[in-house]
Structure 1
Amino acid sequence: MKLSSARFSAKASALAFAALMPLAAHADRLWLLPSATVLSGNDTWVSVDAAVSDDLFIAGHAPLRLDGLVITAPDGSTGKAENAVTGRFRSVFDLQLTQDGTWRITVDNQMIGAQYKLDGEKKRWRGSVEAFAKEVPANAQDLEVMENDMRVETFVAHGKPSTTALKPTGHGLELVPISSPVDLVSGSTGNFQLMLDGKPAANVKVAVVPGGTRYRDDIKETTLTTDQDGKFNVKFADAGMYWLGAQVRDNHTQLKQAKMRRAAYAATLEVLPQ
């Protein structure tokens, strides 16, 4: 989709803005929020909210669009979202857990942002790598291009947790759970590894924020740093929903015109009481 400086779609502006936000206490965050993360027996349906907001897990800013939604079933196959709809502040869809094990729910978007001059007029553009060559004029002047790679995830399970769906794709910034992401309880420590393009992401800052930020003055953000193997541990003192986020900047771009890539990752994890 071509976007002029005068007409940005809600999808492009919300995703581009949020994907570039630093790990600041009051930045808008992208999140997926499942109605439950652990199910058993005949209970097989979950509903998932998807939004961009300042107050964690309260939809009040912009919806997270579902164009890049990928659902990975426990056997590695692709699951199907049902009843998907996007409203003013959030997107919503249902998912039936037709297999036992851990499911991975991901919104994965790669976007190119460009600004340039054409006949003396300033232009801005957002779109895909494929659309760039077709929609950005070859004679554009003062061209500045940045690649944005954003991944937002959550995890749910029916029955006993499994690991097949947790395998990384090898692209962008990804979380590899060492301990099960659907088997966290208060007082426990979650063990994770951050990967960038399939390799350990060393010395990357990771922010961890418990939900309910609207109802407290202290955001209670914890900042951790991955080790040389991309690994880090999170101590979950209390039960509840947690947001985890990280981002990196590098020059590993797909387009030769792009000088920088920003890769961002965010996940929602549920910690149950002991």
Structure 2
Amino acid sequence: MALAFLPAMPAAAHAGFLWPVIDRAEEDGTVRMMASFSDDFPHADIALKSDHWTIVDPEGTKRPFETIASSNSRTFVETALTAKGTYRLSSGERLGRTGQAALIDGTYRLLGRDGLSVETLPEGTPVLTSQTATVSDFYITRGEASDTVLDTRIGRLHIVPLQNPTNLVTGEPFEIQIVFEDQAITDQRVTWFTPSGSREEADPETQLQTDPNGRISVTPLTAGAHLLMVRRIASAPEGAETDVRSYTTVLSFEVK
């Protein structure tokens, strides 16, 4: 069973994201994406690297990017979109740093945050090993938008768009559903960054919570770069090298 992880809220959220730097989808189909971790989305800071870069085409078929190159602050991935429709461009699921966690009052907590450490745990509390698992996504359309790709799955923790993210305009709602292993998650905290808003994950203006169906509706009032992020911790899958995994999934999107 997946148990909720209430993350320690950093002063600013270190989010991994994809963002287009060349978008000729409607011309020759060339798309180049920048991938980076940053406390100030969409500005790049540390290159986001992956062994599982994935393109999901409009029919739902997965394939790798043709070109990948990294610098200190960003990775560039490039592809040529040929078929018409909506594509999902993804980092794939990336396994990252390892650490320690504990189950306290039914909730997984990472050690090393909020003053929690092996020394401060209640006596007899088991110390678990943990590892991060992250997915970063961006959707892009060539020609007329299509929705097949919206229901594809990468990793275990999903931000499922219920409207096409490539057709968003200011003043109109955009609904998503948070799903973990095909189960909609109720009362799940979700972070939303807007173009001129706070980048602090603990700020009330960035915090949302899913309804009983695992859904959230946002209405962007400002055009530009937006980001939705969800975090959750759960028992690691069978065969994993740690007891639990700390999952983060990010969807970046442009509002026009």
What is the TM-score when the length of structure 2 is the normalising length? Answer: 0.76
Query: In 1, distance between residues paired with 2:28 and 2:198?
Result: 31
Contact 2:191 2:208 in 1 (8 A): yes
Matched AA of 1:231: R
Query: 1:30-179 counterparts in 2 under 5 A?
Result: 30-35=16-21, 39-40=25-26, 42-60=27-45, 62-111=46-95, 144-169=128-153, 171-179=155-163
Contact 2:86 2:147 in 1 (8 A): yes
Counterpart in the other structure of 1:227: 211
Contact 1:194 1:201 in 2 (8 A): yes
Quick one: structure 1 residues 33 and 50, their matched pair in 2 at CA, closer, same or farther if it must change by over 3 Å? same
Contact 1:113 1:145 in 2 (8 A): no
Query: In 2, distance between residues paired with 1:79 and 1:190?
Result: 28
Contact 1:146 1:259 in 2 (8 A): yes
Identity %: 22
Matched AA of 2:223: A
| Deviation by residue 1:109-159 (Cα, 9 ceiling, x = unmatched) | 35375569xxxxxxxxxxxxxxxxxxxxxxxxx984214321111100011
Structure that is richer in helix per residue: 1
1:260 Cα shift? 2.6
**Contiguous gaps of at least 5 residues in structure 1:** 1-19, 117-141
Query: In 2, distance between residues paired with 1:112 and 1:49?
Result: 19
1:108 partner SS: coil
Quick one: structure 1 residues 25 and 160, their matched pair in 2 at CA, closer, same or farther if it must change by over 3 Å? farther
Counterpart in the other structure of 1:210: 194
| Deviation by residue 1:211-254 (Cα, 9 ceiling, x = unmatched) | 46799xxx895211111211110110010010110111223543
Query: In 2, distance between residues paired with 1:144 and 1:59?
Result: 33
1:203 Cα shift? 1.1
Query: In 1, distance between residues paired with 2:154 and 2:32?
Result: 28
1:34 Cα shift? 1.4
- Structure with bigger gyration radius: 1
Contact 2:98 2:132 in 1 (8 A): no
Query: In 2, distance between residues paired with 1:22 and 1:106?
Result: 26
Counterpart in the other structure of 2:113: none
1:187 Cα shift? 1.0
Q: Larger relative CO (CA 8 A, sep 6+): 1 or 2?
A: 2
Query: In 2, distance between residues paired with 1:224 and 1:150?
Result: 20
Contact 1:23 1:207 in 2 (8 A): no
Query: In 1, distance between residues paired with 2:9 and 2:140?
Result: 25
Contact 2:60 2:152 in 1 (8 A): no
1:23 Cα shift? 5.3
**Contiguous gaps of at least 5 residues in structure 2:** 1-5, 101-125
Contact 1:169 1:198 in 2 (8 A): no
Query: In 1, distance between residues paired with 2:54 and 2:225?
Result: 22
What is the RMSD computed on CA atoms of the aligned residues? 3.0
Query: In 2, distance between residues paired with 1:238 and 1:226?
Result: 22
Aligned residues: 223
Query: In 2, distance between residues paired with 1:259 and 1:80?
Result: 30
Do residues 188 (structure 1) and 141 (structure 2) align?
no
Quick one: structure 1 residues 220 and 105, their matched pair in 2 at CA, closer, same or farther if it must change by over 3 Å? farther
Counterpart in the other structure of 2:15: 29
